[in-house]
């Protein structure tokens, strides 16, 4: 048994080595959860985009894939007329403007593309969440009226309720 102060009655084989002991509770600034984590770049997810085949390249392909589309990414070096056309064609989808055309070539191996899209997936949601700060539009939300009224209507209160006569 150890005779060191604070370890009374604990066999030496069970005690943690001195260098791995936790600091005393209440020591300010020693909580690892209170330290902010360094920002991780979104580019770390791009190799998985290629493997999962969720990348949609080019405006024409994007127009034909609107049912699968999660968001659109346009480069910073896109022509203003093309940018306006993309904003009009994809007004119902979030559009993010970030990276240069050379960056897309480096990350995805695609040349000359100024507009790409990401198909609906959990990976696309994660990438969009990190690129959301570069959003250049607010997607149009279509609100549809329900086909049938949910509550009583004005016509229901105007009709007198018939009472059944006992037979």
Q: What is the DSSP letter of 16?
A: P
Exposed/middle/buried for 132, CB within 10 Å: 0-12, 13-18, 19+? exposed
Q: Which has the higher per-residue pLDDT, 149 or 78?
A: 78
Binned at pLDDT 50, 70 and 90, residue 139 comes out as confident
Q: What letter does residue 135 receive in the DSSP assignment?
A: B
pLDDT score, position 35: 52
Distant-in-sequence, close-in-space partners of 42: CB < 8 Å, separation ≥ 6? 127, 130, 131
Which residues, in sequence order, are CB contacts of 47 under 8 Å at separation 6+? none
Question: May I ask the CATH architecture of the domain 42-134?
Answer: 2-Layer Sandwich (3.30)
Q: Looking at beta carbons, which pairs linking 77-80 to residues 24 or more positions away fall under 8 Å?
A: 77/101, 77/114, 78/114, 78/115, 79/114
Query: Would you kindly state where each structural domain of the chain is located, as residue ranges?
Result: 42-134
% residues pLDDT > 90 (the chain): 58
Q: What is the per-residue pLDDT for 145?
A: 77
Tell me the per-residue pLDDT of 8-53, one tens digit each, with 9 for 90 and over: 565 555 555 555 555 555 555 555 555 555 578 999 999 999 999 9
Q: Are 73 and 96 in contact (CB under 8 A)?
A: yes
Mean of per-residue pLDDT scores for the chain:
81
């Amino acid at each position: 048994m150890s005779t060191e102060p604070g370890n009374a009655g604990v066999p030496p084989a069970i005690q943690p080595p001195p260098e791995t002991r936790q600091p005393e509770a209440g020591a300010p600034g020693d909580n690892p959860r209170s330290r902010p984590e360094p920002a991780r770049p979104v580019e770390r997810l791009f190799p998985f985009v290629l493997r999962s085949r969720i990348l949609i390249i080019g405006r024409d392909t994007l127009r034909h894939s609107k049912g699968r589309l999660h968001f659109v990414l346009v480069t910073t070096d896109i022509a203003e007329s093309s940018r306006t056309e993309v904003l009009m064609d994809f007004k119902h989808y979030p559009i993010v403007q970030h990276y240069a055309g050379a960056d897309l070539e480096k990350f995805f191996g695609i040349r000359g593309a100024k507009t790409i899209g990401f198909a609906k997936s959990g990976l696309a949601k994660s990438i969009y969440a990190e690129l959301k700060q570069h959003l250049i539009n607010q997607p149009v939300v279509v609100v549809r009226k329900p086909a049938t009224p949910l509550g009583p209507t004005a016509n229901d209160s105007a009709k007198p309720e018939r009472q059944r006569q006992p037979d």
